[in-house]
Amino acid sequence: MAGQPLWQGDMGRNWARQYEATDRQLAEVGDAVLGLLDAKPGERILDLGCGAGTTTLGIAGAVGPSGRVTGIDLSPDLVAEARRRAATLPQVTIVEADAAEHRFEPSAHDALFSRHGCMFFADAPAAFANIQRGLKPGARVALSAFAPLAKNPWATVPLAAVESVLGPAQAEAPASPGPFAWAEPAVFRTALGDAGFRGIAWEGRTVSFTIGAGDHPDPLERACRMVLSIGMVARRVMSEGGEAEERVRPALEAALAPHVRDGWVRLPARIWLVTASA
């Protein structure tokens, strides 16, 4: 998986420390994909890129004690958090591994689920061909991914603020592994189709992202703390070093201030909800 050292290092540690904030941000996404999955009691489900385990716990509740859910993630820190949270649920197994290479039990799962964990493979068709070996024939697939960056104000608003101070960032190659790798449907349609999945379909949906970490009373302070600690803005600011954070913070606060609602910074996100069968 591309970015493996990052997820196994500082990036994974930062996400593990802030899992409550990222879960809050991705709550509507998770609910939408869990609705597509429609897990049933007794089923065996694979949660790809399970992170700190929130979606895994949700699936575990749906499949019940007679079912099984396996969460898989690269980050040892996120895996440790997921294992801690699932410690009392015997139907949950959390695996620390690269799903592109992991030796899955053949034809073991009734469905594949992923809340934004499917866009980070350097060779997506090969990775999903490997994952498919762990799915029963006809197994359901329910995934989510970001639509194009330009349609995601949660990202473009803070990025524009930072670039107004630091200058434009170097453009990434289209479809390169990362949060917007599946922005164009042709990318995931090809990746899944080449891996042998059938009935690939998708729909666009706009959800709200609640942005903020910690318990500071000021929503702008909470939002800045999150934006400057994980994600694209954080990586850009960290790469500049020096006093970059102090320089960009006023512009960031000014850009986010119009989006405070009910005590939180809230911005729209445009996603794809993708379904298929093995």
Other CB atoms within 10 A of residue 103 CB: 9
239 phi and psi, to 5 degrees?
-65, -25
| Per-residue pLDDT at 260 exceeds 90 | yes
* 4-277 CATH fold: Rossmann fold (3.40.50)
SS3 helix, strand, coil % of the chain, rounded to 5? Answer: 45, 25, 35
114 beta partners? 143
Tens of pLDDT, residue by residue over 186-245, are 999 999 999 999 999 999 999 999 999 989 999 999 999 999 998 889 888 988 888 999
User: What are the structure tokens assigned to 108, written together?
Assistant: 């073991």
Tens of pLDDT, residue by residue over 159-169, are 999 999 999 88
Using alpha carbons, select from 200, 44, 181, 192 the residue that is nearest to residue 132: 192
For Cα atoms 182, 207, 173, give the angle at the middle one, nearest 5 degrees. Answer: 25
d(CA 190, CA 204): 18
Identify whether the C-beta of residue 139 lies closer than 8 Å to the C-beta of residue 106: no
Identify whether the C-beta of residue 37 lies closer than 8 Å to the C-beta of residue 59: yes
Hunting for tokens 């899955």 — which residue is that? 104
Using alpha carbons, select from 277, 227, 272, 231 the residue that is nearest to residue 249: 227
pLDDT, mean of residues 116-145: 96
Amino acid identity, position 262:
D
Confidence at residue 10, expressed as pLDDT on a 0 to 100 scale? 65
Instruction: Report CA Rg, the chain.
Output: 19
d(CA 51, CA 58): 13
Q: What is the pTM of this model?
A: 0.93
What does DSSP say about strands 260-261 and 109-115: parallel, antiparallel, or unpaired?
unpaired
DSSP H or E stretch at residue 237: helix 232-240
For Cα atoms 23, 165, 181, give the angle at the middle one, nearest 5 degrees. Answer: 45
Q: Which of the 8 DSSP states describes residue 236?
A: H
For Cα atoms 138, 126, 27, give the angle at the middle one, nearest 5 degrees. Answer: 65
| Lowest pLDDT segment from 17-21, 68-72, 135-139, 143-147 | 17-21
Confidence at residue 238, expressed as pLDDT on a 0 to 100 scale? 87
Q: Using 50, 70 and 90 to split pLDDT, how confident is the model at 80?
A: very high
d(CA 175, CA 235): 19
Tens of pLDDT, residue by residue over 233-242, are 988 898 888 8
d(CA 45, CA 41): 11
pLDDT, mean of residues 128-157: 97
Size (the chain), residues:
278
